[in-house]
Structure 1
Amino acid sequence: MNLVRSELLKIRTTSTWWWLALGAFLSIALAFAINAWLFVTTLGGDAEEIGVSAEQATAPAQAANLYTSGQYLGLMFVMLIGILMVTNEFFHQTATTTFLTTPRRTSVIVSKLVAASLLGFMFWLATTLIDLAAGAIFLSANDYGTQLGEWPVQRALLFNLLAYAIWTILGVGIGTLITNQLGAVITAAVLYLIGTQVVGLLFLLLSNVLDSQAVLKWQVIWPAVASQVMITEGTSEFTPSWWVGALVLIGYALVSGIAGVLLTRRRDIA
């Protein structure tokens, strides 16, 4: 726990997380406005026109989208926090001191993983409280009630927490793989933002070549897509069931955590 507290102190005493928190807040505002429009459009009878399936064209399913607004960019921000928790050691040349103070490198990385998960939880809690307040007001104003008693909404909130925790762990894994801070941040951000669009385009082209819409469901192997699938109610020709996204994301977390420990144990620290 002392190691975990020290990792949290390292992040808390820098201004970086404030900027990331501000970015998360702005992303919530933008995403909530879009999801509110989707809610009104979908339940207004125009679901088919915007590609929403019948299972997703319900008040609980759309309320789940409202209550998880900002997830897409929010996950990127917590991933960057996980990356900085590792790369800061090399950028500020404190890695040698850290590993001399705690020779067991596995303990150091595990403490970073635990601290990253706690930070992910705090980001989830802050963003969810904002979404709950705004969502409850919006839904009540439109005579749908809060929908918080519905299982699709509750599941989306719980699995959104899992997504935030896992993406901070993925960030730690990326930081151990690419120790150069600028290189790790740029690579991760590009893969998350642009890579997701490229993957979607590739699967779209593949589905056209094979003349099969079912191919599009395999986009779930990309972690950013898996995160979205995990909190989505129902299935469509483009997305599999929510539990598939959950399994994919958990798999990435396990691989990332184990790889982070193994790489750090074998790396020469100068």
Structure 2
Amino acid sequence: MGFIAGLRAEFTKVFTTRLWWVLALVMIVYLGALTGGLGTLFAGLQTGAIRASAGHVPRFGDLAPPLYSFATSIGYVFPILFGALLTAGEWRHQTITPTFLANPHRYTVLWAKIWSAVVFGAAYGAVAVATSAAGTVAALQHFGVDTELHDAATWHLFARAVLAMALWGFVGVGLGVLVPNQAAVIVTVLAFTQFVEPLLRLASAFSSETANAAKFLPGAASDALVGASFLDLQNNAEGTIVVAQLDGQYGGLMLVIYGAAVTVIGCLTTWRRDVS
């Protein structure tokens, strides 16, 4: 079985399960609530419609780009989970055995999984961008804050967000190869993306030295590729928080490096092992 047939088989397997649309539905609800709620809060504070406890009106700078970036800053967990489960799920349900029997060339199977995850990652990115944009626009228009949809830079941000989500799908497949246990990879992804990295980036933001190191973290690299992050809101509001970012192209390169690294390590450790 060649690469095209393998890719077609991967898409067929995806569409015969509920995973793809359940993740998409959860992502829409999650991002819609966050962007709508936080967009309302920040826009209300900036315009004075919501009074801050200290009595002053905080200034966050341009609100639209950081709020739009919720699509990737928060939503990137979904293409990672999709890509990871695309591989680890096969070990969990023992469908990896007929997969390798149908196509004994394991690296062809892996390439097919990577490219299917990239395609679905881009699709998740498009949905995430649309959801974040809808919530942000509704909140900002309610308070008369510029949505910046007329600016070409905003649409470039949307395109880069879709690219970032596609790359996160690649990273997810690599994690699924490295950690083929379904429960373990889910816990690993959720723990790192929702707790470990956010805390590391928060802790690193009080000095330029640690901030320069933290910019190489995967989520920070993704934000650099997109060109905006919700952390910019805190930076603009406080003026004392240090937020360092890679250049956009280097952020994308870092994501590719992360994906390649975990995939190669996984290939050397688990992908070649015998299956029953």
Counterpart in the other structure of 1:30: 33
Residue 13 of structure 1 deviates from its aligned partner by 1.7
1 or 2, which has the higher helix percentage? 1
Q: Does 1:71 align with 2:66?
A: no
CA contact 2:178–2:269 (8 Å) conserved in 1: yes
Amino acid at match of 2:101: L
Counterpart in the other structure of 1:190: 191
Residue 43 of structure 1 deviates from its aligned partner by 6.7
5+ residue gaps in structure 2?
236-241
Change (3 A) 1:86 1:49: farther
Counterpart in the other structure of 2:222: 227
Residue 137 of structure 1 deviates from its aligned partner by 4.5
Amino acid at match of 1:240: Q
Amino acid at match of 1:16: L
Q: Does 1:266 align with 2:266?
A: no
Counterpart in the other structure of 1:17: 20
Change (3 A) 1:68 1:200: closer
Q: Does 1:124 align with 2:119?
A: no
Counterpart in the other structure of 2:208: 213
Q: Does 1:238 align with 2:238?
A: no
Residue 140 of structure 1 deviates from its aligned partner by 4.7
Provide the rounded CA distance (Å) in 1 between the counterparts of 2:11 and 2:171: 17
Change (3 A) 1:231 1:31: farther
Residue 162 of structure 1 deviates from its aligned partner by 1.8
Change (3 A) 1:263 1:158: farther
TM-score scaled by structure 2? 0.78
Amino acid at match of 1:192: T
Provide the rounded CA distance (Å) in 2 between the counterparts of 1:239 and 1:151: 24
Aligned runs of 1:53-202 on 2, under 5 Å?
57-58=61-62, 62-143=63-144, 146-200=147-201, 202=203
Amino acid at match of 2:219: A
Residue 72 of structure 1 deviates from its aligned partner by 3.5
Change (3 A) 1:176 1:77: same
Q: Which is further off, 1-10 or 195-204?
A: 195-204
Residue 265 of structure 1 deviates from its aligned partner by 5.3
Provide the rounded CA distance (Å) in 2 between the counterparts of 1:11 and 1:184: 18
Task: Tell me the percent identity.
Answer: 25
TM-score scaled by structure 1? 0.80
Residue 49 of structure 1 deviates from its aligned partner by 7.6
Provide the rounded CA distance (Å) in 2 between the counterparts of 1:51 and 1:229: 22
Aligned residue pair count: 256
CA contact 2:39–2:135 (8 Å) conserved in 1: no
Residue 67 of structure 1 deviates from its aligned partner by 2.8
- Once the two structures are superposed, residues 114-166 of structure 1 have per-residue CA deviations (whole angstroms, 9 ceiling, x without a partner) of 11011111111222223334444544555556523424312321221122111
Change (3 A) 1:265 1:24: closer
- Once the two structures are superposed, residues 165-191 of structure 1 have per-residue CA deviations (whole angstroms, 9 ceiling, x without a partner) of 111111111111111111111122112
Residue 76 of structure 1 deviates from its aligned partner by 0.9
5+ residue gaps in structure 1?
none
